[in-house]
Structure 1
Amino acid sequence: MSDESKPKDAPKPFTTPEMEALEAELALTRAQLASNVDELVARLDPRAQAGRAVESGRQLWSDAKNSDADPAARKKAFAVLGGAAAGAAALLALIVAGRRKG
């Protein structure tokens, strides 16, 4: 609809300062909600999650290899990588044991 279709002498809608304040608050709330939804969509994107996981793995590997890394980060890297290696070894042992029984 264009403004041309409205009569020139149409009365303006009744508003009060409280109504205008509520409308402004509603507009702000809508903008914040839209921002939150956009952020959630970005966080839940599978490609973005995969990228963060790869970067986290690279950082762990770098911390484990670099002797100049923060001692706490290096200790965490060794714990995570050691746990992953132990989990892979346990899975391999279960597969081998299952094939021997079958």
Structure 2
Amino acid sequence: MSDSQQVTNPSIDQIEADIAATRAHLTATVDELVTRSQPKEIIRRQSESARVAFAGATRTSDGAIRVERLAGVLGAVAALLITIGLVRRQRS
């Protein structure tokens, strides 16, 4: 056999080191999954995502407020509140 075709057999110490490294990596991965699945962490990530989405929808790339979008949202909220008030008034 030529040198490029020889199969190298790792030593026992090398195999043990590989197993230890794999075990440490697996432990870190499981710990990360446990952390990500906690309700507090899920709420924190969703809140951050909503905050980023709101900022992206209401601000331009240079940070200026998008007045037309903000006015539309405020108008929709006002219409919703008026509708709720009218429905409550009719019920009483």
Give the structure 2 partner of residue 56 of structure 1.
Answer: 49
Q: Distance in 1 between matches of 2:45 and 2:21?
A: 31
Question: Which of 63, 69, 84 is matched with 2:61 structurally?
Answer: 69
Give the structure 2 partner of residue 20 of structure 1.
Answer: 13
Give the structure 2 partner of residue 39 of structure 1.
Answer: 32
Q: Unaligned regions of 5+ residues in structure 1, if any?
A: 1-16, 90-102
Q: Which amino acid aligns with 2:26?
A: L
Q: Unaligned regions of 5+ residues in structure 2, if any?
A: 1-9, 81-92
Percent identity over the alignment is 40
Q: Distance in 2 between matches of 1:39 and 1:65?
A: 33
Count of paired positions: 58
Structure of higher RCO (CA pairs closer than 8 Å, 6+ residues apart): 1
Give the structure 2 partner of residue 29 of structure 1.
Answer: 22
Query: 1:67-95 CA deviation, whole Å, 9 max, x = no partner?
Result: x238xxx9xxx8xxx9xx9xxx9xxxxxx
RMSD over aligned Cα atoms = 2.8
Q: Distance in 2 between matches of 1:64 and 1:42?
A: 30
Q: Distance in 2 between matches of 1:21 and 1:63?
A: 51
Question: TM-score, with normalisation over the residues of structure 1?
Answer: 0.47
Question: TM-score, with normalisation over the residues of structure 2?
Answer: 0.51
